[in-house]
Structure 1
Amino acid sequence: MYNLKGLIVLFFCYSFSFLNSQSSSLIISDISCEGNDHTSESVIFREISISVGDTIKTEDLTKIFELTKFQILSTGLFNNVTLNVKNYDTKSQKGEVLITVEENWYLYPVPIFELADRNFSVWWNEQNKSLSRVNYGFRLSHFNLTGNKDPLKIKVHFGYTRKYELKYVFPYLSRDKKWGVGGSIFYSENREIAYTTKANKTQFAQLEDERKLLSRFRIGPEIKFRSDEHNFHALRLEYHHNKVDPYVSEVLNPDYFLNGKTDLQFFFLEYDFNHDKRSYRHYPLGGYLYFINLKKEGFGIFNDYDNLSITAGVEKHIPISQKLILSSRNKVKTNLIRNEVAFANNTGLGWDSDIVSGYELYVMDGSDFIISMNAIKFLVFDSNMNTVKWLPKQFRKMNMTLFLRSNFDLAYVNERKYKEGNHLNNRWIYGYGPAVDIIFFNNFIFSFEYSLNDIGESGLFFHNTIAF
């Protein structure tokens, strides 16, 4: 009888001990960083969700460390990130987290040789690879000037577009790292002008005397507020002053600034909000993003242009497996003030990242639009490779990632005024096709897409992005 009781007690003690060992945890007693020779430790801590005192179950450790790694890589400041536990005490379950980073190269004083057109495909196919449509000059970019993730950009352009630009943002002005400030000044002038859109293709004009046809100037400050690692606010105030030669308003397009104007001045107020829970912002592998943008153009003493617009959208990225990701990005924009809009201010789709697959050679001007961009991405290759020893240490080890991607995009642009002869406006369009994405150093993204569209066209298109 006593032996039976002893066996029962021993069984329960063993079971309790087994269950307890299965539910072992890490209680974070300290978090430290190494390898951040230039970057402030506080910048890294600002990005991550884990903190001292957190309790993490052992079975969740790999997943949380992977998420933390991508949170840090999303800054664009590091080539590689690893997390390890050190000085772990099995009795108290307390341990320290060590974050090891390899910093990127931040300073790029490089000569400029870039295309003036919207993208490479437009220059190659529509402009006959003309070298006259190339900008050259000098650019100095520092993406982490004081180690506080504060980018400085200086540009001096000559060639097709003369451009001078200075921009600086300091995101961590306050002690709590929530408030930041910035400012920019910009001036450009063009001898050739995009004066109208016909058949959804931009039309250009240039005079034989090569005089300046367009000049643009803007200046203003911005305020940033980041309440936590996921919520971003920005408020920008700018003064804009744009001019065209009388030839533009009298001969080419009286509606370039509307009503034959040659001069346009207005104040510009913009508010941005992003709720960003994507695991890797440069090339999302999971999570979601909500964003909203409000713009008021024209108020106060400078109100030659009067418009109020709102843009909103959502992204969702669903990991089907470790290598397969389903992604969707949806965006809508509308003008709340329904006045006539000058041609120069009436941009819709075909610019920046708002491009439907297979329609890289077209623009769809419009006051309102909706676009849905969808993809299935498959990870083929992801590795850190050694390069050559004579390079700066930031380039001696290169991360390279390769994805296969399949796209399906859908969009609609509403245009009330400039619709004659532009057959892609006021109708649904779609495009699809396979693509290859190659990412170097976690920041340089090169995409090769073979796309088809609903009007029976197809082609190979190239895109590149620097994700700092």
Structure 2
Amino acid sequence: MKNFRFIYLVFLCLPNLSVAQKADFVVLRKIYLYGNHHTKDRIVLREMDVKEGDTLLLAKLDTLLNNNRNRIFNTRLFNEVKLTLLPDSAEYKSLLVELTERWYIFPIPVFELADRSFNEWWYNQSHKLNRLNFGVRFSNKNFRGRKEELRLIVQSGFTKKLGLGYTVPYLNKKQTLGLDLDFMYDQNKQISFKTKDNKQQFLKTNDLLRERLRLGVNFFYRRSFFATHTFGFRYNRARVADTIGRLNADYFRFGENTQNFFQFGYEFTFDKRDVRAYAHKGYFVNFVYEQRGFTPWDDVKMAVVEASFSKYLPLGHHFYFASLSKGKAFIPNKIPYFNIRAMGYDQDYVRGYDLYVIDAQMFALQRLTFRKKLFEMEFMVRSFLSMRQFNKVPFAAYLNAYYDIGYGYTPQVFSGNQYLSNEWLRGGGLGIDVVTYYDSVIRLEYSINKMLERRIYLAFTTDI
């Protein structure tokens, strides 16, 4: 039915293609969506700031169409998005939105690293295969065609895990309120119990060393296109073997072996990037506040405050610049080892110090990256896969040069952090980024730090 409608509207507009534009504006008569076989129309229209009957200025038309294209693409529901204005008459136009949907259902095997990064596993842990997780992960990223997400993971290996999740981005008719439910339970027979020389120290036994339980609910409020407010509430429970408390009395506190607490949090994001997976233009603002423990029965009382700003600039001739400024603080001063994730985790590190962690009370981080697009192409794989969601594979490569600077502050420098705490860290280098479909990014980097340590590192997320 949609194929017939697409052919009909194209032929309907052909007689008017030669009509000259006399006015400096056009009126949008109709919006046609084509290719969203599974996704509901309202999910696509939610991301557009034009509607039928709007008057559009010709001088701003290209920018308007490109911005709407990027917002639809950033839903991560489509591999391709194309907007074309069809002339109905000299002053009235129709808008054709052509979409190629992604594949949404992924019952795939889990085969992933248990360590904080590939480089931690490869260098510090000697790429041992017993530090791998394996199992099955199921996700439906567009359940019922409403951008809802179902998640299930059953995992064994280094970390035994069972997880369930369900996200509903739009609860109300105005599509401004959303909900996320999350459950996670995991067990370990090997865990990091302290830091020594700014590196994680692990203990391995044949018995269970740690188990964790997490139950959470988040509410989203997204009134505009760019700003999102998230309010969360979570219950956390963790228990470790008595051995951990004896080896590190600060793992929880006072050598205890259990920790239970409720937490609430607030997160604000303002996202004006052109493409979220690998931005060339725009900026991103993020602010997070978490209160961990607020009832008389909670075993921990602490707060986490985090703020970051990322900026992306096209410099012309396929050159780009990106910067990240970030700060994070744990309050009060004395925080259990289990509850600190400071420098060295996720993307919170100075490049060149990929193999180190700093259990800082607070830290500041600045990243600067210059990129040069080497090439961008698409190739077909129809001979291997007959599914349209995988027929076209986008592929782009970027050469980049980067420089990072960071500072991790610790009021009392313990033996585990004595080398890198309370001093400025600097690192930089050269790298190549590969960007392909389904938001996949592969980074190969050659970095050097101020201790003149040089290594090649591999990562699977964008740097900024």
**Deviation per residue, 1:213-233 (Å, 9 max, x gap):** 111111021111101111101
Which one of the candidate residues 153, 165, 168 is aligned to 2:166? 168
Letter of the structure 1 residue corresponding to residue 105 of structure 2: L
Deviation at 1:287, TM superposition (A): 1.0
Matched position secondary structure for 2:460: strand
Look up the equivalent residue of 1:220 and give its one-letter code.
G
* 1:232 maps to which of 228, 233, 238: 228
**Residue 249 of structure 2: aligned partner:** 254
Corresponding residue number in structure 1 for 2:274: 279
Deviation at 1:179, TM superposition (A): 0.4
Q: Deviations over 1:180-221 (max 9, x none)?
A: 1111111111101101111111110112xx101111111021
Report if the CA contact (8 A) 1:406-1:433 is conserved.
Answer: yes
* Equivalent-residue separation in structure 1 for 2:40 and 2:243 (angstroms): 53
Q: Aligned AA for 2:46? A: R
- Give 1:448 shift: 1.2
Task: Supply the distance in 2 between the matched residues of 1:128 and 1:391 (Cα, whole angstroms).
Answer: 40
| Stretch deviating more after TM superposition (307-316 or 26-35) | 26-35
Query: Match of 1:323, as an amino acid?
Result: H
Which residue does the alignment assign to 1:350?
Answer: 344
For 1:363-389, what per-residue CA distance to the aligned partner results, in whole angstroms no more than 9, with x for missing partners? 111121111111112222223321124
Could you say which residue in structure 1 is the equivalent of 2:24?
Answer: 24
Residue identity in the other structure for 1:249: G
Amino acid at match of 1:111: P
Equivalent residue, structure 1, for 2:3? none
Structure 1 partner of 2:409:
414
Per the alignment, residue 7 of structure 1 pairs with none
Tell me how far apart the structure 2 counterparts of residues 418 and 298 of structure 1 sit (CA, whole Å). Answer: 26
The aligned amino acid for 2:425 is: I
In the alignment, what sits opposite 2:200?
Answer: 202
Equivalent position of 1:392 in the other structure: 387
The answer to whether the aligner puts 1:39 opposite 2:39 as a matched pair is: yes
Counterpart in the other structure of 1:11: none
Listed as ranges, the matches of 1:307-346 within 5 Å are 307-321=302-316, 323-335=318-330, 337-346=331-340
SS at structure 2 position matched to 1:239:
strand
**In the comparison of the two structures, how many residue pairs are matched?**
442
Quote the residue 1:87 is aligned against.
87
Where 2:192 maps in the other structure, the secondary structure is strand
Amino acid at match of 2:286: F
Partner Cα separation in structure 1 for residue 62 and residue 38 of structure 2: 28
Quick one: distance in 1 between partners of 2:50 and 2:155?
44
Query: Which range moves more in the overlay, 438-447 or 99-108?
Result: 438-447
1:69 aligns with 2:69: yes
The 8 Å contact of residues 73 and 442 in structure 1, kept in 2 or not, is answered as no
AA aligned opposite 1:381: F
Distance in 2 (CA, whole Å) between partners of 1:454 and 1:30 is 60
**Is contact 2:199–2:416 with CA below 8 Å preserved after alignment?**
no
The structural deviation recorded for 1:68 is 2.1
Which digits, 9 at most, give the CA deviation of each residue in 1:65-100, with x for residues without a partner? 22222222211111111110113422xx22111111
Q: TM-score when scaled to structure 1?
A: 0.90
CA deviations over 1:108-166 (Å, ceiling 9, x no partner): 11111111111111111111110110111111122111212222211111011111111
Is residue 388–residue 396 contact of structure 1 (8 Å, CA) maintained in 2? yes
Where 1:122 maps in the other structure, the secondary structure is helix
CA contact (8 A) 2:277 2:462 kept: no
Q: Helix, strand or coil for the counterpart of 1:37? A: coil
In structure 1, how many angstroms separate the alpha carbons of the residues matched to 2:52 and 2:372? Answer: 35
1:424 positional shift: 0.9
> Is contact 1:415–1:425 with CA below 8 Å preserved after alignment?
yes
Q: Distance in 2 between matches of 1:272 and 1:156?
A: 29
Give 1:374's aligned residue: 368
Task: Give ranges in structure 2 of 5+ residues lacking alignment.
Answer: 1-19
Q: Is the 8 A contact 1:161 1:188 kept in 2?
A: yes
- Contact 2:135–2:156 at 8 Å: present in 1 too? yes
RMSD: 1.9
AA of the residue aligned to 2:150: L
Percent identical residues: 30
Secondary structure of 1:303's counterpart equals coil
The AA in structure 2 aligned to 1:120 is F
Give the distance between the partners of 1:380 and 1:69, measured in 2 at CA: 24
User: Would the alpha carbon gap of residues 196 and 268 (structure 1) be closer, same or farther in structure 2, given more than 3 Å must change?
Assistant: same
**1:248 alignment partner, SS class:** helix
CA distance in 2, matches of 1:348, 1:464: 20
Residue 266 (structure 1) aligns with? 261
Name the counterpart of 2:456. Answer: 460
Contact 2:242–2:257 at 8 Å: present in 1 too?
Answer: yes
Larger radius of gyration: 1
Aligned mates of 2:436, 2:147 — CA distance in 1? 20
Q: Find 1:288's aligned residue among 274, 280, 283.
A: 283
Cα distance in structure 2, aligned partners of 1:129 and 1:263? 31
Q: In structure 2, what is the Cα distance between the partners aligned to 1:379 and 1:241?
A: 47
Counterpart residue type for residue 349 of structure 1: M
Query: TM-score by structure 2 length?
Result: 0.91
C-alpha displacement of 1:437: 1.5
Q: Which runs of 5+ in 1 are unaligned?
A: 1-19
Using a 3 Å threshold, how does the CA distance of structure 1 residues 48 and 380 change in structure 2: closer, same or farther? farther
CA distance in 2, matches of 1:154, 1:221: 16
Alpha-carbon distance in structure 2 between the residues aligned to 1:415 and 1:48: 47
Return 33-42 or 56-65, whichever deviates more.
Answer: 56-65
The answer on whether the counterparts of 2:413 and 2:421 sit within 8 Å (CA) in structure 1 is no
In structure 2, the partner of 1:157 is 155
Alignment of 1:306 with 2:301, yes or no, is: yes
**Partner AA of 1:233 in structure 2:** H
Query: Structure 1 residues 162-171 or 440-449, which shifts more?
Result: 440-449
C-alpha displacement of 1:47: 1.9
